Amino acid sequence: MKSSNPVFGNQVMERYRQLAGSTSSMPITEQMTINGTINKIFILTIFLIGSAIVSWTIYSSSAGFASLLGIGGIIVGFILALVISFKNTTAPILSPVYAICEGLAMGFISAVFETMYPGIAFQASFGTFGVLLTMIFVYKFRIIKVTEKFKTGLLIATGGIALLYLLTFILSFFGIYAPFIYEGGLIGIGFSVLVIGIASLNLLLDFDFIEKGAGYGLPKYMEWYGAFGILVTVVWVYLEILRLLAKLRQNE
C-alpha cells in the first residue's frame, strides 16, 4: 500500500498519473471515487472478519486443522498480495480472496495468543480501531502532511523493518534469534512501539493514494486496489499491536 506501503510505491503512483491521462474522457460511473473505495473496504472487512471467526471457532475444537488453515492463509495471502500489487486489474477478483486468506491467518494467530493471554485479541482489535480513527483524524486535518520527503522517509523505514524481519526469519533456521523482536523488556517493547508507529503512518499514505486516485479519475477497479492496500496496513497494525500486548503481558 504505500508510497511507503509496498502496495503504493512511487513507481505505482507514476503509473497512475499516466492512467489518469488516458482515462480523462472516461464516464464518471467508470472512475474511482472515495465513496466507492470505502464501500470496497467495508466488503473486504466483512470477508476478513468472517473468515477470522471461522478460523477462531475451528481452533477451539481442532487446533491442528486451524493451524493448517492459518498457515495456508498466510502463504496463499502472500502470493495473492504479490499478484495484486504487480497486476492491479486483478484486484476486484483477488482482493476478496486475499481478505479471506488473511482472516483465516488472523483468526488462528489471535486464537493462539488468546489461549496464552485471555482478552488480548479484543484489546488488539480495540487498539487497531483506535489507531485507524486517529490516523483518519490526522490525515483529515493535515496534522501530518504527506509530502514527498515524508513518503521517502517512511518508505525507507518500512523497507528496513521488512528486511529485518526477513533476515531474522532466515537466521532462525540456523538457531539464531533476535530477542528484541519476540521477547519483552524495555528494548523489545520499545521496538514494537516503533514498528506500530511506522505501520500506523503507512495509513496516511494509503489515504493519500485513495484521495489522489479519485482526483485523477482512475479506473473503477482501482477502488478495489485502494481497499486492498488499506487492508494490508490494518492487518499489519493489528499483528504488531498483538505482539506488543503479548510482550507487556510477559512482564506482568
3-state SS record for 175-186: CCCCHHHHCCCH
How many CB atoms are closer than 10 A to CB 144? 12
Quote the pLDDT of residue 203: 98
Q: Mean pLDDT in the chain?
A: 91
Q: With 70 as the cut, is the pLDDT of residue 21 above it?
A: no
Q: Of residues 140 and 180, which shows the higher confidence score? A: 140
The neighbouring-strand residues paired with 219 are: 31
**Whole-angstrom Cα distance, residue 32 to residue 58?**
38
**pLDDT value for 28:** 74
Residues 101-110, mean pLDDT to the nearest whole number: 98
pLDDT score of 185: 86
* CA distance linking residue 193 with residue 247, whole number of Å: 11
**Quick one: average pLDDT of 239-246?**
97
How many CA atoms does the CB half-sphere of 131 hold within 13 Å?
A: 26
Lowest-confidence pick of 63-77, 108-122, 166-180: 166-180
pLDDT at 10 (0 to 100): 53
Q: What is the C-alpha separation between 98 and 106, in angstroms, rounded?
A: 12
Distance CA 54, CA 150 (A): 39
What's the burial of 162, exposed, middle or buried (CB within 10 Å: 0-12/13-18/19+)?
exposed
Instruction: Please tell me the number of Cα atoms within 13 Å of 65 on its side-chain side.
Output: 9
What does the pLDDT read at residue 184?
Answer: 84
Q: Where are the domains of the chain?
A: 25-250
pLDDT of residue 191: 96
Alpha carbons 222 and 16: distance in angstroms, whole number? 10
% of the chain beyond a pLDDT of 90: 81
Is 241 within 8 Å of 132 (Cβ atoms)?
no
Higher pLDDT, 8 or 44: 44
Q: Taking 90 as the threshold, does the pLDDT of residue 231 lie above it?
A: yes
Q: Which residue has the higher pLDDT, 22 or 206?
A: 206
Per-residue pLDDT at 2: 39
**pLDDT value at 170 more than 60:** yes
